[in-house]
Amino acid sequence: MSISTNPRIAILNINMCPEMAHIASQAHSHPMSLLTLESCFGNLYKSIGVYLADELQGFAILHQIFEDATLMDICICPQSQGTGLGRLLLDRVIVAAKEAKAETLYLEVRSSGIAAINLYLRYGFKETGRRKGYYKTVNGNEDAILMELTFPG
């Protein structure tokens, strides 16, 4: 499936947290709480949303301290997954990190997130480690795969 209408990228503000929490609750088995999402606004954070028409379809949260940027979360609502919106959002996250003079973009992903892992690998992310049993699942825990993308120069 591909994007059927023109998506729009926008910087989100804290007032969008209820919509972000709703999307996260649909897309993640153990989503961030509303309170945690609200804590991701401030000088060290940038929250980026992707819209179709005027409806938020997904978001990404970028945290940056000096030259180290971390993708805290990237989330697309289930009905829009597989349409290219995740790639569009990841493109914008990478641009934002580079514009802020990041040297490295870090992330972690569930070991079961095969589609996400493959997307990150296509973008040049490299696996750098694992956190054993880090993420909760319905049946216990699963590993977090640590990945990073280094920007040249």
Which pLDDT tens digit goes with each residue over 100-148? 999 999 999 999 999 899 999 999 999 999 999 999 888 889 999 999 9
Q: Phi-psi category of 72—alpha, beta or left, where left has phi over 0 and alpha has psi -120 to 50?
A: alpha
Catalytic residues: 108, 120
What local confidence, expressed as pLDDT, does residue 131 receive?
95
Reported confidence tier of residue 3, pLDDT bands at 50, 70, 90: low
% of the chain at pLDDT higher than 70: 97
Rounded Cα gap, residues 147 and 39, in angstroms: 23
Beta strand 68-76 with 45-52 is: unpaired
**Region 78-99 average pLDDT:** 95
Rounded Cα gap, residues 23 and 30, in angstroms: 12
Residue 4 pLDDT more than 70? Answer: no
**DSSP state at residue 34:** H
Reported confidence tier of residue 30, pLDDT bands at 50, 70, 90: confident
| Cα of 142 vs its chain's centroid, Å | 19
Instruction: Evaluate if pTM is beyond 0.75.
Output: yes
Residue 77 pLDDT more than 50? Answer: yes
pLDDT digits (tens, 9 = 90+) for 96-108: 999 999 999 999 9
Instruction: Determine contact, residues 69/105, Cβ cutoff 8 Å.
Output: yes
Rounded Cα gap, residues 58 and 64, in angstroms: 20
**Region 63-67 average pLDDT:** 96
Indicate the average pLDDT of the chain.
93
Reported confidence tier of residue 1, pLDDT bands at 50, 70, 90: very low
Beta strand 140-150 with 45-52 is: unpaired
